[in-house]
Amino acid sequence: MSELARIEPADATGEVADLYDQLQTTIGVIPNMVRYMANSPAVVKAWMTLSSALDGGVLPAAVRHRLALTSAEYNRCTYCLSAHTFLAKNVAKLDQAEIDHARDAASDDPHTDAVLKLSDALARGRGSVADEDIKEARAAGVTDAEIAEIIANLALNVLTNYFNRFNDTPNEYPVLVTPR
C-alpha cells in the first residue's frame, strides 16, 4: 500500500507546527488525514482555506455533510464516510435515514435531493452534466451560487477522498459504515 510519511504533532516544526497550532485552536484536533497532508504545508493550507471558505457559503453544513457522504460513497472512502457520518449525526443533527439517503445521492427534502443528484452527476460525468441534470436542479430551486459551491465541495471532497484512500488513513472516527 502506498503511504506518505505521517507527521505527528510532536515532530512538527516550522510551518507545519504553525498549521497544527491553528487547527488545534480552530477545531480542537489534528485529524489523521492532516498528518499525511503535512508533507506539503501548501496542501494543508489549501484544505483549510477551501473548507473555511465553503463554511461561509450558501450551502448549510447539513447539506455539505450530505455532499461529503455522497462523494465518499462514490469514491469508496471509508475514512470520509466515517468522519462525515459522525459529523452529520453529532454536529449537523441529521437523522440516520437522511445520512443513509445521502450515501445514495438522495434526500427526503426535494431541494437537497436536487443538490445531491447534481453533485453525483458531476462526479460521474467528471465535470460534465447533461442539460437535463441542470434543468432538474433549477426546477428544484438550485441557484447559480449553489451550483458553484456544489462544484467546489465536490473538489474538496475528492481531495480528501483520494488523500485518504491513497494513505489508507487510520480512522479516528467510529467506523460506522463502509462503502457499499
Kindly report the number of other CB atoms within 10 A of residue 116's CB atom. Answer: 25
pLDDT at site 176: 65
As a whole number of angstroms, the distance between CA 97 and CA 139 comes to 24
Model-level pTM greater than 0.85?
yes
Report the Cα 148 to chain-centroid distance in Å: 15
Kindly report the number of other CB atoms within 10 A of residue 88's CB atom. Answer: 23
CA distances (Å), 55 to each of 59, 152, 165, in order? 8, 11, 24
pLDDT in tens, the chain (180 residues): 568 999 999 999 999 999 999 999 999 999 999 999 999 999 999 999 999 999 999 999 999 999 999 999 999 999 999 999 999 999 999 999 999 999 999 999 999 999 999 999 999 999 999 999 999 999 999 999 999 999 999 999 999 999 999 999 999 877 766 777
If we measure between CA atoms, which residue out of 130, 65, 141, 132 comes closest to residue 103? Answer: 65
pLDDT at site 173: 79
Report the Cα 137 to chain-centroid distance in Å: 21
C-alpha cell at 149: 459551491
If we measure between CA atoms, which residue out of 79, 169, 72 comes closest to residue 119? Answer: 72
pLDDT at site 148: 98
pLDDT at site 174: 74
**Torsion sign over Cα 163, 169, 174, 179:** positive
pLDDT at site 1: 54
Are the beta carbons of 173 and 84 closer than 8 angstroms?
A: no
